[in-house]
Chains A and B, each alone.
Chain A
Amino acid sequence: MGITRRDFLKYTGLASASAGVAGVPYFKSVMAMGTKPEKEATYVNTFCEICFWNCGAVAKVVDGKVVKLEGQPGNPASKGKLCARGNAGMGSLYDPDRLKTPMLNVGKRGEPKWKKVSWDEALTFIAGKMAKIKETYGPEAVSLISHGTGGSFWKELLYAYGSHNYTAPSFAQCRGPRDIGYLVTFGAAPGSPEQIDMGNSKFIVLIGSHLGENAHNSQVQDFVDGISKGAKLLVVDPRFSIAAGKANWWLPIRPGTDMALLLAWINVIVNEELYDREYIGKYAMGLNELKAEVAQYTPEWAAQETDIPAATIVATAREMARYKPGVVIHPGRHTAWYGDDTQRGRAMAILTALLGAWGREGGNFFPTKEKGTIAPYPNIPALPEPEKPNLTGSWPYALEATTTAMRATTISGDPYPVKGWLVYGSNIMKTMPNQKETIEALRKLDLVVVVDIMPFEHIDWADVVLPEATYLERYDDIKVGKGKSLMYAIRQPVVQPMFESKPSWWIVKELSRKMGLEAYFPWKDMEENIKTRLEAAGVSFEELKKKGTIGFPDTAKPFITADNEPEFGTDSGKIELYSKALKDKGFDPVPKYTRPEMPPSGYFRLIYGRSPLHTFSRTTNNQWLAELYGENVLWLSARKAQSLGLKNGEYVVLENQDGAKSNKIKVKATERIREDCVYMVHGFGNRSKDLTRAYNKGADDQSLITRYAVDPLMGGTGMRVNFVKIVKEA
């Protein structure tokens, strides 16, 4: 039984055709020695929700239990593979600490006494409170914080109720800044998944972006493909990340000074005329203004700011220009760093433009222009128009209400009172900076509803907790993917919901009835909903179930060609190296550098990132992930550790500039980080005792992020502006 590569390919082809056949029995071969009897396995398609890459997955079910998860070969986010977290997805399904029933808090907020209640009771309570808030303050007084696929139902409910205060941490705490930076420059955001052609790139630049640790599945696959095909790699990171370990150039930059480096690169490329002249001439405007502005940002000057030698700055600028236009300047994803983040995103966009990489093979590609044919469910009444503007704060580029503006308004009551929070799939204690402010806001509310699957610490602040079924137990909306080409993917229940948990579609539909909004949810159930819409679009429901993902490869037009000329959604219709729109709104039309505050002596800048084994806090209690990475550690320069008398593995406590103290955390004394900062993985130090595995393990970066730098353009919250000192007693 020789297995050749061809056989494997055959298998892959076969799998995409038949492995997903839900309900088709498949015989598992005998275990090594046949102690276990043969059991029938079924394979069901769905997509992963352990993070928001939403990889297509195939679940293997034996005896009604999900025993294995694998990537769907035909799905562009997974390409047949799952990351470590996706592989451990059944850990959230079978977590014994899961939320099991709806609960009412009959104690105080923050000091809850839980009473198990029926769904009917819980939803009646919520409907009553929401009716009262609407009556007293108007519908906009209720807002939603949502992160995750099931949030779409809650958003619909919110809109039907009359509020547009829908917020997501993925904007102000995550990719909002870079999206705006690119939007201002190209008239389009770099996309999520990021529309970058790393697999075919000649030169890849990562600024922060710690791919490998940041385990966004297909993106990491593309990254590895790119560098193995010979792409040069440049990594800018104060820490020797996994990606830095693969880099041709690792620039251990002084944290917070990336803008200086970017401007100096632009300076070299403009002055030495290394940019793509034809491209810039044809598609861009403002080169002269750009040139004039960056004249001050010489490599010598930047060397002082960034701690990177001027010669290296010049050499790397020339090097990336050498490979233009097949260069990926990774736009970053979590970019809420220092408060100047939108402008940093703009500088990256400008650099991308100069290299002619936007719309070019090996650079940034265009997503499919195909809109897709899936329409909303028929006969849904028009949504009410909100009477008051939503909570975008004072920021002209906040495209949506932001979590932090919403929080500030809740405290201030300005411009109008906010009295109810619906929290879907977001651990707001971990997600937003300055926990004190979050608590202050929570205390002002008349209603806090948490829809979650796990008892993380934020549920303590809820009046009602609703246990959602996990992604392996529910239908969600159809996923419409717009990468190079169009794709539809399905989430369907792999197993039935455990305990009394319910999918969001069900919860929202029931709640809508109690709120008199049932007209907005006229479908019978989600299966009927999906089926109806798919069939109206000419896509077979059964086929999608069987395949998991249906792609339309011929919808791709990723690069500029004679018959695919780019359109730029900017005011000028061109790439704006100089932005008049920004100037009109009182911002710098070309990015400028402002030196961030540096840590006082004895303090380190606190920076943070991802473990490939965890998604924020949500996986910290997952059996198969916690056993591999059960608590985070404090990366500290080995030299500093020595001078502080700290040993590897020793527990310490951190104290920030405002006196906030962390949980205890183990020191990782390492050569892999600069001396002026310390690093930890975000999501640990959970304070909920109901988490058997995660309780009290490691430290919470958020507990030390008591201040944040607000981005003046779009209200992003820069979170790398806190300084900590190490307190030995632990």
Chain B
Amino acid sequence: MPRYAMVIDQRRCVACMACVVACKRENDVPEEHFRTRVVEVIEGEFPKLRMELRSELCNHCDNAPCVSNCPTGASHHSEDGTVQINRTKCVGCKACVAACPYNARYMDPEVGFADKCTFCEHRLKEGKEPACVATCIGKSRIFGDLDDPKSNVSMILKEHDAHVLLKEAGTEPKVYYIKKFGKAV
């Protein structure tokens, strides 16, 4: 069994939003709802500015509070280490939404189940990369199997100091970030 993970090379992100739209179409995400987003952070004062571009999505945490807080087992870990939602079991209590430190979830406005990024499970089964990765204009999003030492994510993580978001939450995310700032000077 693989253990899927994503590495986000922030220096390669250009805030083009292709990932955001691709995800919406691939997963038929309801209007005004999103599984991934792009955050632009500007620090400093004109003209000494610094920009961080960060795309965010579900971290498929190893220690996922959304899973532990789910009263029905609807939110669960799949064998491949991803966090998935069994829609039939979901009662729509929203505990998982409140539990996620990354605000990665939303409630389906029509049927009322919790939803979020699936790492494009259905595409993985077809041997394709997640939609956001496939279309990433900056090749900022990199996807692969942590258990395979030769996978691109394993290699990149070996070579770079990666960090995760809100490490202090203890969630053990599987979305890693490298090269936080684009600026070299």
In the complex they form, whether A and B have CB atoms below 8 Å apart is answered with yes
Chain A interface residues (CB < 8 Å from chain B): 1-5, 7-8, 11, 28-33, 35, 67-71, 80-88, 90, 211-213, 215, 217, 220-221, 223-225, 227-228, 232, 240, 242-250, 252, 612-613, 623-625, 627-628, 637-639, 670-674
Given the complex, which residues of B lie within 8 Å of A30, measured CB to CB? 122
- Given A224-B14, A240-B49, A245-B51, A671 and B28 contact (CB-CB distance below 8 Å): no
- Given A30-B122, A84-B18, A71 and B2 contact (CB-CB distance below 8 Å): no
Given the complex, which residues of A lie within 8 Å of B69, measured CB to CB? none
Contact A32 B138 (CB under 8 A): no
Determine how close the nearest CB of chain B comes to the CB of A169; give it in whole angstroms: 24
Total CB contacts across the A-B interface at under 8 A: 185
Please tell me the number of chain B residues within 8 Å of chain A, measured between CB atoms.
62
Contact B137 A215 (CB under 8 A): yes
Interface-side segment among B56-64, B95-103, B139-147: B139-147
- Given A11-B127, A33-B87, A670-B42, A88 and B12 contact (CB-CB distance below 8 Å): no
- Given A82-B18, A248-B185, A3 and B88 contact (CB-CB distance below 8 Å): no
Looking at B2, B45, B46, B137, the one whose CB has the most chain A CB atoms below 10 A away is B137
Determine how close the nearest CB of chain B comes to the CB of A4; give it in whole angstroms: 5
Looking at B24, B136, B138, the one whose CB has the most chain A CB atoms below 10 A away is B138
Which residue on chain A has the smallest CB distance to residue B122?
A29
CA of A289 to CA of B182 in the docked complex: distance in angstroms?
41
Other CB < 8 Å A-B pairs besides A35-B88, A68-B131, 11 of them?
Answer: A3-B2, A3-B151, A5-B144, A30-B122, A87-B21, A212-B16, A215-B18, A215-B137, A224-B12, A672-B46, A673-B46
Contact B2 A613 (CB under 8 A): no
CA of A217 to CA of B139 in the docked complex: distance in angstroms?
12
Determine how close the nearest CB of chain A comes to the CB of B30; give it in whole angstroms: 10
Chain B interface residues (CB < 8 Å from chain A): 2, 9, 11-12, 14-18, 20-22, 24-26, 28, 31-32, 40, 42, 44-47, 49-51, 53, 80, 84-88, 118, 121-122, 124-129, 131, 134-140, 144-145, 147-148, 150-152, 182-185
Contact B137 A248 (CB under 8 A): no
Task: Please list 9 pairs of residues, one from A and one from B, whose beta carbons are closer than 8 Å in the complex, sorted by A's number.
Answer: A3-B144, A31-B122, A33-B88, A70-B134, A81-B135, A217-B137, A221-B137, A228-B9, A627-B32
Given the complex, which residues of B lie within 8 Å of A227, measured CB to CB? 11, 182
Which residue on chain B has the smallest CB distance to residue A27?
B126
Given the complex, which residues of B lie within 8 Å of A33, measured CB to CB? 85-88
Given the complex, which residues of A lie within 8 Å of B145, measured CB to CB? 2-4
- Given A83-B137, A87-B135, A246-B183, A220 and B126 contact (CB-CB distance below 8 Å): no
CA of A628 to CA of B29 in the docked complex: distance in angstroms?
13
- Given A88-B25, A224-B137, A228-B11, A628 and B17 contact (CB-CB distance below 8 Å): yes
CA of A166 to CA of B45 in the docked complex: distance in angstroms?
48
Which residue on chain A has the smallest CB distance to residue B48?
A671
Contact B42 A2 (CB under 8 A): no
Q: Which 9 pairs from chain A and chain B are nearest by CB?
A: A245-B51, A212-B14, A246-B182, A87-B21, A84-B17, A5-B152, A224-B138, A2-B2, A84-B21
Looking at A2, A67, A250, the one whose CB has the most chain B CB atoms below 10 A away is A2
Of the candidates A68, A240, A248, A252, the one whose C-beta lies within 8 Å of that of B184 is A248
Which residue on chain B has the smallest CB distance to residue A638?
B46
Given the complex, which residues of A lie within 8 Å of B32, measured CB to CB? 627
CA of A189 to CA of B16 in the docked complex: distance in angstroms?
27
Contact A671 B49 (CB under 8 A): yes
Given the complex, which residues of A lie within 8 Å of B31, measured CB to CB? 623, 627
- Given A67-B25, A240-B49, A211 and B14 contact (CB-CB distance below 8 Å): yes
CA of A381 to CA of B17 in the docked complex: distance in angstroms?
48
Given the complex, which residues of A lie within 8 Å of B124, measured CB to CB? 1, 3
Contact B14 A32 (CB under 8 A): no
CA of A100 to CA of B103 in the docked complex: distance in angstroms?
41
CA of A627 to CA of B33 in the docked complex: distance in angstroms?
9
Which residue on chain A has the smallest CB distance to residue B115?
A32
Looking at B22, B80, B150, B183, the one whose CB has the most chain A CB atoms below 10 A away is B22
Contact B21 A220 (CB under 8 A): no
- Given A29-B125, A242-B15, A90 and B46 contact (CB-CB distance below 8 Å): no
Determine how close the nearest CB of chain A comes to the CB of B83; give it in whole angstroms: 11
Given the complex, which residues of B lie within 8 Å of A228, measured CB to CB? 9, 11-12
CA of A456 to CA of B165 in the docked complex: distance in angstroms?
44
Given the complex, which residues of B lie within 8 Å of A248, measured CB to CB? 183-185
- Given A4-B148, A11-B127, A624 and B12 contact (CB-CB distance below 8 Å): no
Looking at B25, B47, B140, B185, the one whose CB has the most chain A CB atoms below 10 A away is B25
Of the candidates A90, A220, A240, the one whose C-beta lies within 8 Å of that of B51 is A240
Which residue on chain B has the smallest CB distance to residue A215?
B16
Given the complex, which residues of B lie within 8 Å of A672, measured CB to CB? 42, 46, 49
Contact B46 A252 (CB under 8 A): yes
Contact B85 A212 (CB under 8 A): no
Contact A2 B147 (CB under 8 A): yes
Determine how close the nearest CB of chain B comes to the CB of A659; give it in whole angstroms: 30
Contact B129 A8 (CB under 8 A): yes
CA of A7 to CA of B20 in the docked complex: distance in angstroms?
25
Which residue on chain A has the smallest CB distance to residue B136?
A81
Given the complex, which residues of A lie within 8 Å of B148, measured CB to CB? 2, 4
Contact A67 B152 (CB under 8 A): no
Given the complex, which residues of B lie within 8 Å of A83, measured CB to CB? 16, 18, 137
Contact B135 A70 (CB under 8 A): yes
- Given A4-B150, A33-B86, A245-B182, A80 and B15 contact (CB-CB distance below 8 Å): no
Given the complex, which residues of A lie within 8 Å of B125, measured CB to CB? 1, 29
Given the complex, which residues of B lie within 8 Å of A252, measured CB to CB? 46-47
Given the complex, which residues of A lie within 8 Å of B49, measured CB to CB? 240, 245, 250, 671-672
- Given A3-B2, A623-B31, A220 and B14 contact (CB-CB distance below 8 Å): yes
Given the complex, which residues of A lie within 8 Å of B2, measured CB to CB? 1-3
CA of A70 to CA of B153 in the docked complex: distance in angstroms?
23
CA of A240 to CA of B42 in the docked complex: distance in angstroms?
10
Which residue on chain B has the smallest CB distance to residue A218?
B137
Looking at A225, A244, A628, the one whose CB has the most chain B CB atoms below 10 A away is A628
Contact B16 A84 (CB under 8 A): yes
Given the complex, which residues of B lie within 8 Å of A88, measured CB to CB? 21, 25
Contact A624 B144 (CB under 8 A): no
Determine how close the nearest CB of chain B comes to the CB of A604; give it in whole angstroms: 15
Determine how close the nearest CB of chain A comes to the CB of B25; give it in whole angstroms: 5
Given the complex, which residues of B lie within 8 Å of A242, measured CB to CB? 14-15, 40, 51, 53
Which residue on chain B has the smallest CB distance to residue A83?
B18
Which residue on chain B has the smallest CB distance to residue A82?
B135
Looking at B40, B88, B183, the one whose CB has the most chain A CB atoms below 10 A away is B183
